[in-house]
Homo-oligomer: A and B are copies of this chain.
Amino acid sequence: MEGFSGNIDWTDIAYVTDFYELTMAAAYYYSNYQTEYGSNKIKGIFEMFVRKLPRNRSYLVTAGLEQVLYFLMNVKFNEGQLSYLKSLEVFKDMGEDFFEYLRNFKFTGNVWAVPEGTILFPNEPMIRVEAPIIEAQIVETYILSMMNFQSLIATKASRIVTAAKGKSVIEFGSRRAHGPQAALLAARASYIAGCVGTSNTLAGYKLGIPIFGTSAHSFIMSFEKEVEALKQFNKIFPSGYLLVDTYDTVAAIRKIIKSGITTAGIRLDSGDLYSLSVEVRRLLDSAPNGYYANTKIMASGDLNEYLIHDLLNRGAPIDSFGVGTELSTSRDDPAMNGVYKLVAIKIPSSAPTHNEARVDEKILYKAKTSPAKRTYPGPKQIYRIFENGLIKNDFIALENEEQPPSSLPLLQKILDNGSLSKLPSLREIQRFHLDQIKKIPLKFLNLHFVPQSFAVFYSKQLEATSREFKPE
């Protein structure tokens, strides 16, 4: 058919970018006043960080790095894209050499990043990119959209998993996620933060995340009698959970017990989940011969961390939670405001020789100074300081400063001149995140109160460099 599928072809991935990255690329390309060696020889050092956490959050959880690295190692422009660019009014007089530059474009830079699943606080760089400035600029939008979204969802999921106090949480939000890809990425990010699985089949198939599914009301409704539908489903999926709230939850439970359907579990999807879970548990437990004593209760239906906390606090006998819309959209605040800011440029300080590796470079720190959007200049490192095995605070310093004692540098070089470090599996990332949750001060796990201070300190040298930075 004519029209647009809505899917992004992998070969088009370079155009997942704000158009100004391409106008800037051209402007960098033709601006060589700064050095006789051409602007492409100028390197830019950019850091991605979040100025302010989403509402109600006390920390953020990073996610999306694997997809960013995949992008960086594969990004290139195709002829269709270049023809389109040439067809645009603003590019019509651009020299062919620029298009030739794009034709040969690839990302050759270095990347430092904190591991996926890391707990971070505002203004802490999660990624640092050092590359010829055009390369570093062109990849901005993709890095931001991927990291912002997955980190947003991992952060929300981490709160929900904490609220569930060891009960299983399953991500159920594909239908409300922001399109099919967001559904898949939300499943990934939720798993990283401790969900036991997802309803998203593609996440199972492509990422090996455990998938879960019961049935929907439509299945029940397609039968003349509810009990027949429950029997049929149970016959075909003996280990499957039965959905009991299509018409009347308590009546459905009575029908199950009366007809002796042996079910592993039931799912409540509407109504007052506290009262219903108590009543259903009572009915199940009072059935003859303890026949339903091991039947589990799963709850779903517009749940979030606050509702789960409240249900468990009141002792609701719920064994697992399916969380959809609130998780896959991070509903109480659906935006992670990550930014990608130039912190330094590197300029060759002498003419390049045939052996370019020997060119000396001069580093110039850079910072934005607009009100309320001021940034710290220079490439930085985050040192996490531990005390008795717990995180005490973070210390941010210029990368060339000395490492403080009992500290762990969080940013690691992950892409080094095209060579990628081994990435952890999703299971490993999940374990890493859950281990950190055990190590952060309890005040950060309080769902109802955001601590005022984030225990992040800056080195004197960084503060001085920032204070002394005076752009013209």
Contacts and interface: CB of A to CB of B under 8 A. Distances in A.
Contacts of A20: 199, 213-216
A162 interface: no
A420 B182 contact: no
A6 B176 contact: no
Interface stretch (A138-146, A285-293, A430-438): A138-146
Interface residues of A, number: 138
A186 B178 CA distance: 9
Contacts of A31: 223, 229, 232, 236
Interface stretch (A105-113, A328-336, A457-465): A328-336
A376 interface: no
Contact of A182 (B80, B178, B228, B370): B178
Interface string A1-24: 111111111101101111111111
Contact of A472 (B133, B225, B341): B225
Interface stretch (A361-369, A381-389, A394-402, A405-413): A361-369
Contacts of A225: 472
A22 B202 CA distance: 12
B174 A3 contact: no
A179 B176 contact: no
Interface of A: 1-10, 12-13, 15-24, 26-28, 30-31, 33-34, 42, 44, 46, 64, 66-67, 69-71, 73-74, 80-81, 84, 88-90, 133, 137, 140-142, 144-146, 148-150, 152, 172, 174-186, 188, 199-202, 204-207, 211-219, 221-229, 232-233, 236-237, 239-240, 245-249, 269-271, 325, 329-331, 333-338, 341-342, 345, 366-373, 420, 423, 471-472
